[in-house]
Amino acid sequence: MLHARKFAALLISLCLCFSILCGCGNTESSTDLTSDSEDTVQISEDKTPETSVSDNPLEMPEDTENAVTEDSSLNAIDNQIIISVNGRELTATLAGNSSAEALRELLEEGPVTISMRDYGSMEKVGDIGTSLPTNDEQITTEAGDLILYMGSAFVIYYAPNSWNFTRLGKINDISAQELKNILGDGRVEVTLSLR
């Protein structure tokens, strides 16, 4: 019986020591957390007047928005070429493929003049003077389509045709009749240049 009381007293003492030790650890942690929280609050209160981009990653500063808009405008301009024919200048937007990019790189070296002739009452065609990469796909052309045929023939369509072609781009804002009138009958000199 005496041993059982001593064992119970020892067990209670151990439990009390353990709970005190655990409680002390938690108290220290709580104290540390409290003091850290106070520091954090003071720091954030001190920095409240200052704002930075990183405070809200979803919010974009005005300067950045303007830069994005300007970049988009520049990209749209960079993606256009001028087609000079019979005293007229037509603007065309290039396609988004390696063939159109290669054409753009060629025009960065300077304007390219192509002697073009009618073919099949639907297109003007002429040799571009070099070979560009092809990205052939089944296409039904429309008036104003700029096509690369066999890697070296530059084609301006003024009537529909279906075949495997590489799309280079499209002349902006022109009707089939307007384009046909500008291109005229027979041979014509067409100059491609960057905008």
Ranges 1-15, 63-77, 166-180, 181-195: which has the least confidence: 63-77
Helix ranges restricted to H, 48-164: 62-78, 98-108
The span from the CA of 38 to the CA of 32, in Å, is: 10
pLDDT at 163 over 50: yes
> Does the global pTM surpass 0.95?
no
pLDDT at 65: 45
Average pLDDT, the chain: 77
pLDDT at 72: 42
Radius of gyration of the chain (CA): 37
- Work out the average pLDDT over 178-188: 96
Selected residue with higher pLDDT from 78 and 74: 78
CA distances from 126 to 25, 44, 179 (A): 86, 69, 17
Amino acid making up residue 125: V
State the pLDDT confidence band at 71, using cuts at 50, 70 and 90. Answer: very low
What's the CATH number for 79-194? Answer: 2.40.100.20
The C-alpha torsion from 170 through 117 and 150 to 160, rounded to 10°, is 50
pLDDT at 105 over 50: yes
